[in-house]
Amino acid sequence: MINLEKITAAFGSRTLLDSAECTFTRGTLNALVGRNGAGKSSLLRILAAIDSPKSGEVVVGGKPLHTIAAEERAKIISFVSTQRVRVANLRCCDVVATGRAPYTNWIGSIGKEDTEIINQSLAAVGMESFADRAIDTLSDGEFQRVMIARALAQQTPVILLDEPTAFLDIPTRFEICRLLADLAHNQGKTIIFSTHDIDAALAVCDAVAIMEKCSISVHPTAEAAEILKVLFSL
């Protein structure tokens, strides 16, 4: 479970959140939506402890996030950014293996258990046959699946994703959202992703977090649909 407690955040001189509070529950897929510039990416970076709020507290599993050491945080929260980094000749299994970094020794050696987890993570996203494929040969949808597999290999109870369906065609967007929902439900993870694809969010997610006027509120999808109709004239 993740709690936001009176979070205030800003981008430059512009306030994004003002004493915002909400809760994301375990075993749920949550879409984070809002107008352009509402602060969706900024909030995810705060939840991932990449950035800090101006005030307030993020509480994960009953612990204030800022009190958790970086090494321990890496075993609690994984973050998939929008950045598409593709390195020639780097295999999919090598990318997924980076998710094991919090658990490997100081020279980063991958053991038998790590290899099994990497293979299981690729299988969970339907990419086991791509393990030895070069990452720069994948389609956008395949690449996104590999990045989700990397987050799974990190074995964190919380997964954050910034616009994971960007650059994807409509069928693949829904496919990725359904995959995330299955992972949340079957593995008991709290998954939060930002998106502009409101249709996919309402069709697949358990809850939708709406950022509007420096606040955030989390609603079951049916309730969120009615609110979004008013806000965005859907």
Do 42 and 51 touch, CB atoms closer than 8 A?
Answer: yes
pLDDT digits (tens, 9 = 90+) for 118-159: 999 999 999 999 999 999 999 988 999 999 999 999 999 999
How sure is the predictor about 233, in pLDDT bands with cuts at 50, 70 and 90?
Answer: low
**What is this structure's pTM?**
0.91
Q: Provide the pLDDT confidence category of residue 1 given band limits of 50, 70 and 90.
A: confident
Paired strand residues for 220: 207
Cβ neighbours, 10 Å, residue 114? 17
- State the CATH class of domain 1-76+158-234: alpha beta
**Range of weakest confidence among 6-15, 101-110, 195-204:** 101-110
DSSP bridge pairs for 23: 3
> According to CATH, where is 3.40.50.300 located in the chain?
1-76+158-234
Q: What is the pLDDT of residues 169-192, one digit of tens each?
A: 888 889 999 999 999 999 999 999
Rounded Cα distance between 60 and 51, Å, is 16
Q: Minimal CA–CA distance to 191: which of 205, 203, 202?
A: 205
pLDDT digits (tens, 9 = 90+) for 55-81: 999 999 899 999 999 999 999 999 998
Contact residues for 60 (Cβ-Cβ < 8 A; gap 6+): 1, 2, 3, 68, 76, 77, 158
Q: What would the pLDDT profile of 189-203 be if each residue is shown by its tens digit?
A: 999 999 999 999 999
Instruction: Look at residue 85 and tell me whether its pLDDT is greater than 90.
Output: no
Token pair of 217 as six digits: 């509120």
Average the pLDDT over 39-49 and give the result: 95
